[in-house]
Amino acid sequence: MAQSMWFPKLLPVTERSLLRPLLHHTTNPLLHSSTTSLRQSNLLPRRVSTAAVSPMESITVLMTCPPVHPYLVEALEKRFTLHKLDSVPDKAQFLSSHRDSIRAVVGNAAAGADAELIDQLPKLEIVSSYSVGLDKIDLAKCKEKGIRVTNTPDVLTDDVADLALGLMLAVLRRLCESDRYVRSGLWKKGDYKLTTKFSGKTVGIIGLGRIGMAIAQRAEAFSCPISYFSRSQKPGINYKYHPSVVDLAANSLGPKGVLINIGRGPHVDEAELVSALVEGRLGGAGLDVFQDEPNVPEELFKLENVVLLPHVGSGTVETRQAMADLVVGNLEAHFLNKPLLTPVV
Q: Known catalytic residue: 311? A: yes
Any bridge partners for residue 62, and if so which?
A: 83, 105
Q: Contact, 161 vs 139, CB < 8 A?
A: no
**C-alpha to C-alpha distance for 268 and 299, rounded to whole angstroms:** 16
Half-sphere exposure of 188 (CA within 13 A, CB side): 3
H helices of the chain, in order, are 16-23, 35-40, 70-79, 91-98, 115-120, 139-145, 157-172, 175-183, 210-220, 245-252, 270-278, 317-335
DSSP assignment of 123-177, as one string? T--EEEESSS--TTB-HHHHHHHT-EEE---SSSHHHHHHHHHHHHHHHHTTHHH
Q: Of the candidates 171, 132, 159, 157, which has an alpha carbon nearest to the alpha carbon of residue 287?
A: 171
Q: Known catalytic residue: 264? A: yes
**What is the distance between the terminal CA atoms of the chain, rounded to a whole angstrom?**
47
Distant-in-sequence, close-in-space partners of 60: CB < 8 Å, separation ≥ 6: 80, 81, 82, 83, 98, 101, 102, 103, 104
Exactly one of 39, 173, 218, 311 is catalytic; which is it?
311
| Residue 54, number of CB atoms within 10 A of its CB | 14
Q: Known catalytic residue: 173? A: no
Exactly one of 57, 220, 293, 299 is catalytic; which is it?
293
Exactly one of 83, 98, 264, 334 is catalytic; which is it?
264
Q: Of the candidates 154, 150, 113, 130, which has an alpha carbon nearest to the alpha carbon of residue 344?
A: 150
CB burial of 218-228 (b: ≥16 within 10 Å; e: otherwise) equals bbeeeebbbbb
Q: Of the candidates 166, 201, 174, which has an alpha carbon nearest to the alpha carbon of residue 303?
A: 174
| Residues marked as catalytic | 264, 293, 311
